Structure 1
Amino acid sequence: MVDNADSGADGRRIVVGVSGSLGSLAALHHAATEARRTDAEVLAVLCWVPLGDELGYRRTPCPPVITAGRDAAVVRLRQALDEAFARRYAGLRLRCQAVRGDTGHTLVRCADRPGDLLVLGAGRERGRLARLVHPSVSAYCVRHAACPVLTVPHPPLQRDLEALERGGHGLRAAAAGN
């Protein structure tokens, strides 16, 4: 894993949730900009769970499944960092971790120092039923984190892609306004 800095216990730290989505890449860029401005360390965290979720794994433990899940998470984190920074980390104290656990709970646990800032992509807008079945990570973090939480809005490209997924109605309306 990329690890360009030691984790000074008294320094400022910006913990950023990374999934590889456009929203998480925007959050990673925002965290990097803030870290350079304030001389803080960035801790990029990708959360993962075993195939079949934790409950399924506990019922039928299989160590190779854990190893494969962890390895896939590390690869995904490296890809996200490469996409975000094109392997240019100069001037950025960056540590990265692929951490096993539920995303919201794990990010709150990682951002546990008094001076931490937790940065997240805002996530995609969903209907009421989807929010009940899969609660928002950012909402969970805002409610449970002991440090400030910053949610970075969707980048314009992500909004355009989501409009295309919904049938392109948002894009047609935006084009008609131009």
Structure 2
Amino acid sequence: MAELPGRVVVGVSGSLGSLAALRRAVDEARRSQRLLLPLLAWTPPGGEGSYRRAPCPQLAKVWEDTAVERLLTAFEEGLGGRPTDLPVQPMVVRAEAGYALCDVADRPADLLVVGTGRRGALTRLAHAGVSRYVLAHAVCPVLAVPPPRLPHGAARALRRLDPADFGGRAQALAGPVEGRGGRLPAVGRDRRPAPESERRRGSDAG
């Protein structure tokens, strides 16, 4: 049986680390001519256990729509728009971030890209929940990308920049992203959460 082609899967949350990971993932996808699969994972406030005690589908839809907006905003903030020169398949997944990333990047030929925190790549990989989970469970190579080094207060100024200020080869969004209800990114879907013992090790991507 032929091996399925590899993809570049990147965890997106909107943090500076995840924006740096998104930019690196775009470069890797261009270089290797692979499908780019940006993934944003979300869970209800308080976790799935809290939601099961008081389920509210209307609120769940609001949280899901908010996650979609966060993913689209990440394209604008990190790239100046969704790239149009390579295949992109955005996903919004209802699950713990580490579990969702490993569940989607399930091919040995995939490349999984994650952002690290401000403490630096090595320390973050040793202590951060998502990175630790990914390193322990991923079946494909993992690339950890540290955030850019910014002087004190520069992060706030960076977020005030116009998307065009980022430059690069990315182009503006070429129209609405198709999906459920006409708003969700392509192939956006819910995933069953990981077992309780594994969920405790996950957290938001990036």
My pick for the range that moved more, 67-76 or 45-54, is 45-54
2:82, 2:10 → 1: CA distance?
Answer: 18
Relative CO higher for 1 or 2, CA cutoff 8 Å, sep ≥ 6? Answer: 2
Deviation of 1:83 after TM superposition, in Å, equals 1.1
Unaligned ranges ≥5, structure 2? 156-206
The answer as to 2:28 corresponding to 1:31 is no
Partner of 1:82: 76
Partner of 1:140: 133
The structure carrying a bigger helix percent of its residues is 1
Q: What is the letter of the counterpart of residue 16 of structure 1?
A: V
Which of 57, 62, 72 is the aligned partner of 1:63? Answer: 57
Identity percentage over the alignment? 48
Partner of 1:18: 12
Contact (CA 8 Å) 1:117, 1:148: kept in 2 or not?
Answer: yes
Contact (CA 8 Å) 1:12, 1:39: kept in 2 or not?
Answer: no
Q: What is the letter of the counterpart of residue 136 of structure 2?
A: R
The answer as to 2:103 corresponding to 1:122 is no
CA RMSD of aligned residues (A): 2.4
Partner of 2:183: none
Larger Rg: 1
Deviation of 1:161 after TM superposition, in Å, equals 4.4
Unaligned ranges ≥5, structure 1? 1-8, 165-178
Q: Post-superposition, which runs of at least 4 consecutive aligned residues in structure 1 deviate over 2 A?
A: 9-12, 123-126, 160-164
The answer as to 2:65 corresponding to 1:99 is no
The answer as to 2:144 corresponding to 1:151 is yes
Q: What is the letter of the counterpart of residue 112 of structure 1?
A: D
Structure-1-length-normalised TM-score: 0.76
